[in-house]
Every structure is written in structure tokens, then in C-alpha cells.
């Protein structure tokens, strides 16, 4: 496990609850970034030279991510370490992130979308998905598709 410790389940006090929420938030942000890049847990694990089960434990918050490992994860996910703490308000309840990244269909959609080389086709697919979801496709008024 390279020095990472399982998160103790018998912590006491509000600081322990806060720490647990932050651990879970960081894990959710790791998952969000990984899925946004179209990577599987196995691919991230291979890049970090750890098991996919360890990545899964990080993402669920059951194992705390050390500072050094978080730095490695940030490098491999092409982001800053601070990204993982964005939105981790101490008073805010821990909620799943809205992108639906835990859904296999969403992961496949992102992965397949990333494989489209033609920018105009990517824009058309994006507009289609926005339209189907009930949101405006980003077309300016009076513009054409």
C-alpha cells in the first residue's frame, strides 16, 4: 500500500468527521477527473504502479491518499493538487458530484467522445446531447446549426 493507511472508523469529534468528509471529497474528485479523461481505474492504477483496488479505495474514501500519492495522481490526471480540494467546504454536506461519473454509460460516453478527432463532429455530438438532455445547445439566437 506504499504507506497509505486505512481511514479509521472509530474517530471521535467533529474534526474527525470533517477529515472523513474531506477524504471522501478528494476521492470523488479523483473519480471525477479520471472519468472525465476517459480512464479506467485499471489504467490509472497502472500509471501509479498500484492495484486498481487501491484506486477504488482512494475513490471511495476508505483509504486516505497521502500527499505524495495525491501529487502523483494529479500529475497523471493532468491537474493540480488543489483541484481535488475544490468545493470541499467544511460546512457543506458531502454529496456526489453531478456528472454521473459512477455510471458505466457515462464513462463509455466520455471515452468514446474523446476518440472523435473531427472538432465539428464533436461539437455536433455535444449539441445533440445538450438538446436531448433539455438544455440549450449553445447556439446563438438567429444562428444556424
- Could you tell me the pTM of the whole model? 0.56
Is-contact 94 25, C-beta < 8 A? Answer: yes
pLDDT of 50? 96
- The x, y and z cell numbers of residue 25, run together, are 471529497
Predicted confidence band of residue 40 (pLDDT cuts 50, 70, 90): very high
- The CATH number that domain 1-96 falls under is 1.10.260.40
pLDDT of 12? 54
Predicted confidence band of residue 119 (pLDDT cuts 50, 70, 90): confident
More confident residue, 24 or 6: 24
Q: Per-residue pLDDT tens for 48-63?
A: 999 999 999 999 999 9
Mean pLDDT, residues 90-104 taken together: 51
Distance CA 45, CA 33 (A): 14
pLDDT of 65? 94
Domain ranges of the chain: 1-96, 103-138
Give the highest mean pLDDT range of 27-31, 119-123, 124-128, 132-136. 27-31
**CB contact set of 83 (below 8 Å; sequence gap of 6+):** 29, 33, 74
Give the highest mean pLDDT range of 7-16, 22-31, 125-134. 22-31
Distance CA 6, CA 63 (A): 4
Torsion of the alpha carbons at 115, 56, 7 and 28, rounded to the nearest 10: 30
**CB contact set of 40 (below 8 Å; sequence gap of 6+):** 34, 52, 107
pLDDT of 87? 85
Whether the pLDDT of residue 93 is over 50: the answer is no
Question: What pairs with residue 6 in β-bridges?
Answer: 63
Amino acid at each position: 500500500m506504499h504507506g497509505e493507511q486505512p481511514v479509521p472508523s472509530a474517530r471521535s469529534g467533529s474534526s474527525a468527521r470533517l477529515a472523513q468528509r474531506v477524504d471522501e471529497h478528494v476521492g470523488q474528485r479523483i473519480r471525477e477527473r479520471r472519468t472525465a479523461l476517459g480512464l479506467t481505474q485499471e489504467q490509472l492504477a497502472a500509471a501509479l504502479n498500484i492495484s486498481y483496488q487501491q484506486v477504488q479505495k482512494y475513490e471511495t474514501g476508505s483509504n486516505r491518499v497521502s500527499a505524495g500519492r495525491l501529487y502523483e495522481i494529479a500529475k497523471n490526471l493532468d491537474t493540480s493538487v488543489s483541484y481535488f480540494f475544490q468545493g470541499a467546504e467544511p460546512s457543506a454536506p458531502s454529496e456526489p458530484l453531478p456528472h454521473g461519473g459512477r455510471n458505466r454509460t457515462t464513462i463509455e460516453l466520455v471515452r468514446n467522445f474523446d476518440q472523435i478527432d473531427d472538432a465539428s463532429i464533436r461539437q455536433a455530438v455535444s449539441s445533440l446531447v445538450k438538446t436531448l438532455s433539455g438544455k440549450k445547445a449553445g447556439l446563438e439566437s438567429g444562428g444556424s446549426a
